[in-house]
Amino acid sequence: MFHFSLDSARSVGTLSLSGDLTIRNAAEFKEAVANAMDQSKQLELNLSEVERLDLTTLQILCAAHRTLLKKGRILSIGGSIPAIFRETVQLAGFAECAGEKETSGLWKGVTN
């Protein structure tokens, strides 16, 4: 469900996520994100294999994003953004966070 890899030359970590990211595994997901944040200066999420997610997932990502921004670091989404992620962002009311003006990384391009 969670796989982390680190490009130590660039200090960029990639956290690949798959399957269901819901409240049922929120504690594990939060821990995986926290560990990945500790190990990299820039963290990129690969969401291409995510099948389901809920508000809990978005809240964890939002908190991680804000924490890293305060530290001058970046959390971003790499690769393709699955439709289920875009839909959940809209339904959960995160569309304003993911709007055209978003340039800080995580939500950039989610609503496009």
User: What are the boundaries of each domain within the chain?
Assistant: 2-91
Residue 104, pLDDT score: 55
Mean pLDDT of 20-46: 92
Residue 8, pLDDT score: 72
pTM of the model: 0.83
Mean pLDDT of 21-50: 92
Q: What would be the CATH architecture of the domain defined by 2-91? A: 2-Layer Sandwich (3.30)
Instruction: Give the Å distances, CA to CA, from 18 to 31, 69, 79, 83, 84.
Output: 15, 25, 14, 14, 12
- Of 2-6, 82-86, 103-107, the poorest mean pLDDT is in 103-107
What is the rounded distance in angstroms from the CA atom of residue 57 to the CA atom of residue 85?
Answer: 10
Percentage of the chain with pLDDT > 90? 44
Average pLDDT, the chain: 84
Residue 15, pLDDT score: 93
pLDDT band at 74 (very low <50, low <70, confident <90, very high): confident
